[in-house]
Amino acid sequence: MKTFALLLCIIFILPTSANTENVRPWGYQLQNAEIMELMNSPFDLLVIDYSKDGLNSSTWSPEEIETLKHQGKTVISYISIGEAEDYRYYWNETWKNNPPSWLDEENPDWKGNYKVRFWEHQWQTIILDYIRIIMNIGFDGLYFDMSMPMNTMRKKGFLTQLNAWSLGSRLLQHLPDK
């Protein structure tokens, strides 16, 4: 059975031995995270990027994530499903001049981040591949960031029950069911 928790954005706790019932303080650090700082932090639950600097070449190792878990930490990976980021492994430089149908405008507040039509199949396929990478590292769950205010999503027609259901149901189909 899948277990779910909601914190600011959507967090999916994957079916693991992680005990989330007693989690009280939690930390959120996406950049410049160091293993020793995380191990010694007072936080029961940590939301971190799957990578130390956002690049695929510096992902956390399964051994590092396991070390954090042995310290009593529940380790959640941040993943943006509402924006494509031009420094991620999946980015294709040709998209800047010839964007795929699912890629929208650059976020003026976050250079290199592009809004996406998250309900389109091609983007969902990219996200599902990204989730597989994260799950294989051994994270306890996923912190899905939509990265776009709800009113902007409504104005652009991005937010409808059907679109949200399409993404949510496809993601659920690919989460492990242990």
CATH code assigned at 12: 3.20.20.70
Asked whether residue 33 carries a pLDDT value surpassing 60, the answer given is: yes
Asked whether residue 34 carries a pLDDT value surpassing 70, the answer given is: yes
Could you tell me the pLDDT band of residue 65, with boundaries at 50, 70 and 90?
very high
CA angle 7, 113, 51 (to 5 degrees): 65
pLDDT of residue 7: 33
Could you tell me the pLDDT band of residue 27, with boundaries at 50, 70 and 90?
confident
Which of the residue ranges 6-10, 25-29, 46-50, 80-84 would you say has the lowest mean pLDDT? 6-10
User: Alpha-carbon torsion 134, 137, 141, 145, what sign?
Assistant: negative
Model pTM?
0.75
Query: Phi and psi for 45 in degrees, rounded to 5?
Result: -120, 130
Q: How many domains does the chain have?
A: 1
Asked whether residue 23 carries a pLDDT value surpassing 70, the answer given is: no
Asked whether residue 17 carries a pLDDT value surpassing 60, the answer given is: no
Percent of the chain with pLDDT over 90: 37
Percent of the chain with pLDDT over 70: 69
Could you tell me the pLDDT band of residue 164, with boundaries at 50, 70 and 90?
low
User: Which of 10, 172, 170 has the alpha carbon at shortest distance from 82?
Assistant: 10
Give yes or no for a contact between 69 and 115, defined as CB atoms under 8 angstroms apart: no
User: What would the two tokens of residue 135 be?
Assistant: 């799950």
Domain of 58? Answer: 3-174
